[in-house]
């Protein structure tokens, strides 16, 4: 909105800002009261900071081979452990912690980008299908059904298996095979919203379809889906790891959870930590994301539930 010079800008500008902060802030505040959320947030912040800083400042290298230091067990296990390698070293003497942290960078980046892509494509299609109905609905939903009926992983590995996997192809393939669920959910919600009284009220007020969809229906249904999307980030990170495990993920020597674990299977009996530690590390990250995701979801339901 534009402000006429005569008007007092502070009055006008404050209004929307206040509203945004009050609702969003209340959800966050509500979530902060949840122990799971605080624990998850703490762990996640710590690990994310570590993965951002540690690889830059440490003198260790994630790819350089050091035969002398191979098969060092993690802290407090066995005999030769050292504080320098808290998670031990692998068959080539590389530091496991460092490899995990760098793997996390890729994993996190791929997870978030993929979910954003899925979310945008899926919700846009679902919203149009649900609100417009008729032929729009039929065509979009048939495509969605077809896509949904091929399990994501078969689609992903078929494509990645015959092409060369790279960060970009992984994101595109995962994103394009994951949108149907979002489309379905968005469509369902859009149909419910469309029949609500307020939409009738808005139409009588003179609002055009696009305006109703973007300004009213989308803000109503998207946050709900966005909170599920937080949980999906974790799912996509697992997916990325699975692809890596099958040899279809980010290619070596770049460390990725999947490839590390896959390679380490050979040393499972002698050096159990090479396979288990990265998994444990990844699980910890994912648990913290999931704890936060479900706490946020609960908080949102409570705030919007009209209990207040």
Partner 1 sequence: MSDTRTREPVLSVRSLTVGPTEPGSAAILSDLSFDLHSHEILGIFAETGGGKSVLSRALANWLPPTLEFRGGDIRFKGKSTLDGTGHSMLRPGREIAYIGSRPQSSLDPTIPVGPQLVEKLRAVRPEISAADARKKILKLLAEVRIPSPEERFNEYPTKYSGGMMQRAMIVDALSTDPAMIIADNVTQPLDVTIALQIVRLLQQLARQHGLSVLFLSSSLSTLNQLADRVVVLQNGRVAEIGETQALINAPATPYTRTIIDQIPRIWRSTAAPAVSTRSADQPIMSVRDVKRTYYVRRPGHLNSYNSVQAVRSVTFDVMPRDNIGIVGESGCGKSTLTRLLTALEKPEQGEILFNNRPFNQMPQKELTAARRGFQLLLQDPYNSLPPRMTVGRMIEEGMRIHGIGKGAGMRARVEQAMTDVGLPTSIYNHLPNSLSTGDRQRISVARALVLEPQLLILDETVSALDQSEQNKLLALFSRLQAEKNLTYIFISHDLAMVRRVCSRIAVMYLGELVEIADNRNLFYSARHP
Partner 2 sequence: MFLVEYLLKRLAQGVVIVFLTSLIIFTLLRVVPGDPVRLIVGGMANDTVVKEVAEKMGLRDPIIVQYGRYIAGVVQGDFGQSYVRPRNGMVVAGGEYIDPTKSNMAPVIDLVVERLPLTLMLAGMSLVFALLVSVPLGIFGGLYPNRWPSSLALLVQSVFVSIPNFWLSIVLILFLSVKLGWMPALGYQGFAYVLLPAIVLAVEICPFLIRTLTVSLGEIMQAPFIDEARVRGLSRWRIVIGHALRNAAVPLVNLLGMQLSVLIGGVLVVEYIFDYPGLGHLTVLSVVARDFPLIQGIAILTSAVFVFINILVDLITYAIDPRVEL
Which among partner 1, partner 2, none contacts residue 304 (Cβ within 5 to 8 A by kind)? partner 1
Tell me: does residue 233 bind partner 2 (CB under 8 A): no
Closer CB to partner 2, residue 84 or residue 279? Answer: 279
- What are the DSSP calls for 124-163, one per residue? HHHHHHHHH-HHHHHHHHHHHHHHHHS-HHHHHHHHHHHS
- Measured in residues, the chain has a length of 308
Q: Which of residues 186-225 bind partner 1 (CB under 8 A)?
A: 196-198, 200-208, 211, 216, 219-220
Nearer to partner 1, 220 or 276 (CB): 220
DSSP H helices in the chain: 9-32, 35-57, 96-132, 134-149, 152-162, 167-194, 197-205, 209-211, 218-245, 257-264, 272-304
> Which of 94, 99, 187, 235 is the binder for partner 2 (CB under 8 A)?
235
Least CB distance from residue 27 to partner 1, whole Å?
A: 11
119 token code pair: 């979310």
Site for partner 1 in 118-157 (CB under 8 A): none
CB of 287 to partner 2, least distance (A): 4
φ, ψ for residue 95 (rounded to 5)? -70, 125
Out of 72, 102, 234, 296, the residue judged to bind partner 2 by CB under 8 A:
234
Asked, as a colleague might, if the bond just before 4 is cis with ω within 30 of 0, I would say no
| Contact between 65 and 90 (Cβ < 8 Å) | no
| 269 is a contact residue toward partner 2 (CB under 8 A) | yes
Site residues for partner 1, 285-304, by CB under 8 A, read 304
Nearest distance in Å: CB 163, partner 1: 44
* CB 176 within 8 Å of CB 114: no
Query: CB-wise, 15 or 49, nearer to partner 1?
Result: 15
Q: Considering only residues 156-195, where is the footprint of partner 2 by CB under 8 A?
A: 157-159, 161-164, 181
* Binding-site member from 145, 198, 211, 266 for partner 2 (CB under 8 A): 145
- Using an 8 Å Cβ cutoff, are 281 and 87 in contact? yes
Q: Are 274 and 260 a contacting pair, CB within 8 Å?
A: yes
C-alpha 214/C-alpha 49 separation (Å) is 36
CB of 210 closer than 8 Å to CB of 272:
no
User: According to the binding rule CB under 8 A, does residue 29 interact with partner 1?
Assistant: no
End-to-end, the C-alpha distance of the chain in Å comes to 31
Quick one: 200 or 266, whose CB is closer to partner 1? 200
Under rule CB under 8 A, how many of the chain's residues touch partner 1?
34
For 238, other C-beta atoms within 10 Å of its C-beta total 16
Chain positions contacting partner 1, by CB under 8 A? 1-4, 6-8, 11-12, 15-16, 18-19, 22-23, 196-198, 200-208, 211, 216, 219-220, 304, 306, 308
Chain positions contacting partner 2, by CB under 8 A? 36, 142-143, 145-155, 157-159, 161-164, 181, 231, 234-235, 238, 241-242, 245-246, 257-258, 261-262, 265, 268-269, 272, 275-276, 278-279, 282-283, 286-287, 289-291, 294
């Amino acid at each position: 909105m534009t402000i006429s010079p005569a008007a007092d800008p502070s009055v006008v500008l404050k209004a929307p800002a206040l509203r945004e902060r009050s609702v969003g802030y209340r959800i966050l505040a509500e979530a902060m009261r949840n122990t799971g959320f605080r624990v998850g947030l703490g762990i996640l912040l710590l690990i994310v900071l570590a993965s951002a800083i540690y690889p830059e400042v440490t003198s260790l290298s994630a790819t350089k081979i050091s035969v002398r230091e191979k098969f060092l067990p993690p802290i407090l296990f066995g005999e030769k452990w050292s504080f320098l390698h808290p998670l031990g070293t692998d068959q080539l003497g590389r530091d496991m912690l460092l490899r995990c942290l760098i793997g996390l960078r890729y994993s996190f980046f791929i997870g978030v980008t993929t979910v954003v892509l899925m979310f945008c494509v899926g919700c846009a299609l679902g919203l149009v299908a649900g609100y417009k109905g008729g032929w729009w609905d039929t065509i979009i939903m048939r495509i969605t059904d077809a896509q949904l009926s091929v399990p994501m992983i078969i689609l992903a590995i078929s494509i990645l298996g015959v092409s060369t996997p790279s960060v970009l192809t992984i994101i595109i393939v995962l994103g394009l095979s994951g949108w149907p669920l979002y489309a379905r959910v968005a469509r369902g919600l859009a149909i419910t919203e469309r029949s609500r009284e307020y939409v009738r009220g808005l139409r009588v007020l003179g609002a055009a379809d696009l305006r109703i969809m973007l300004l009213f229906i989308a803000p109503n249904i998207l946050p709900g889906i966005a909170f599920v999307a937080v949980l999906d980030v974790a799912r996509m990170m697992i997916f990325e790891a699975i692809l890596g495990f099958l040899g279809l993920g980010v290619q070596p020597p770049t460390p990725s959870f999947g490839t590390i674990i896959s390679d380490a299977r050979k040393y499972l009996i002698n050096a159990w930590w090479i396979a288990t530690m990265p998994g444990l590390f990844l699980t910890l990250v994912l648990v913290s994301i999931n704890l936060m995701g479900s706490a946020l979801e609960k908080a949102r339901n409570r705030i919007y539930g009209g209990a207040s």
